Each structure stands twice: as C-alpha cells, then as structure tokens.
C-alpha cells in the first residue's frame, strides 16, 4: 500500500516521463523538403536529436527513480532526507530535460518560418 502510494506520488511529482518521440518520425525528411539551406537543416536535425536524447535519458532516469523509491521505502533505516534527496534529483533532471526541449523549440523557431513550421510538423495521418 505504501509502495503504491509512493510510486503514485513520484509520478505526480515528476509529471511522468518525457515523450522520446517529440518529433514526427519523418521530421528529418519533412525539414529537408521545406528547408533548402543544408546548414540550417543540419542545425535543426542536431537540435531535434538533442531534445530526443534528453527525453530518452530522462525516461531512463525516471525508471531508476521508481526502483530507488521502492528500495528506500522498504529500508527501515531510510530517513526523510533520503526521500527528499531522491525526489530533488529527479526534479532537477526533469528541469534540465525541459530546458533542452525548450532550447530546441527556440532553435527551430529561429530557423523556420511559420509556413515551414507547419509543413515540418504536419500530421500526414490527418490527410487521409
């Protein structure tokens, strides 16, 4: 019971995982279609990869956090500081991940016009 409550609390505190699929699967091809400058395409591609990498790393850390939370919960000698330190660590990592994602968004907006943005992020499944 306590373990389930703590896991739920941990998920609520951390906001769940970051989506490693932040961009459409064919994002790189779509950018290639709408951005003719090869250097700009490279910047956009690298930035998108950085955000996806940060999201995947955060999700991996979140899984470790959940396991560590259970371990601390089961340890009779655990202290409130043990819990606080664990939660603070994952919150710090979440903030860093969000910073990376927002930096990618800033880079994209600096290098894409609104029309290019719409084309790069189009959802082709809705075209059917």
- Sequence-ordered list of residues with C-beta below 8 angstroms from that of 93, at least 6 positions apart, any chain: 58, 61
Phi/psi of residue 25, nearest 5 degrees? -55, -35
23-28 — which CB contacts under 8 Å span 24+ positions? 23/48, 23/51, 23/52, 23/121, 24/121, 24/122, 24/123, 24/124, 26/124, 27/120, 27/121
- Residue 50 maps to a domain: yes
- Residue 94 maps to a domain: yes
- Sequence-ordered list of residues with C-beta below 8 angstroms from that of 108, at least 6 positions apart, any chain: 44, 47, 48, 117, 120
- Residue 12 maps to a domain: no
- Residue 19 maps to a domain: no
Domain total of the chain: 1
Tell me, what's the pLDDT at 27? Answer: 77
Tell me, what's the pLDDT at 30? Answer: 82
- Residue 108 maps to a domain: yes
Tell me, what's the pLDDT at 126? Answer: 58
Residue range(s) defining the domain that contains residue 73:
2-7+24-121
Tell me, what's the pLDDT at 125? Answer: 57
- Residue 13 maps to a domain: no
- Residue 17 maps to a domain: no
- Residue 71 maps to a domain: yes
pLDDT one digit per residue (tens) for the chain, 128 residues: 344 444 444 454 545 555 556 677 777 888 888 888 999 989 988 988 888 888 889 999 999 999 999 999 999 999 999 999 999 999 999 999 999 989 989 999 999 999 988 888 776 555 55
């Amino acid at each position: 019971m306590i373990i389930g409550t703590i896991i739920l609390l941990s998920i609520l505190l951390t906001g769940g995982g970051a989506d490693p699929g932040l961009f459409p699967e064919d994002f790189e091809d779509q950018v290639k279609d709408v951005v003719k400058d090869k250097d700009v395409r490279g910047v956009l591609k690298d930035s998108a990869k950085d955000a996806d990498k940060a999201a995947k790393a955060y999700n991996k850390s979140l899984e470790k956090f959940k396991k560590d939370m259970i371990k601390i919960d089961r340890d009779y000698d655990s202290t409130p500081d043990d819990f606080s330190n664990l939660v603070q660590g994952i919150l710090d990592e979440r903030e860093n991940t969000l910073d990376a994602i927002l930096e990618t968004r800033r880079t994209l907006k600096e290098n894409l016009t609104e029309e290019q943005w719409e084309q790069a992020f189009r959802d082709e499944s809705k075209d059917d």
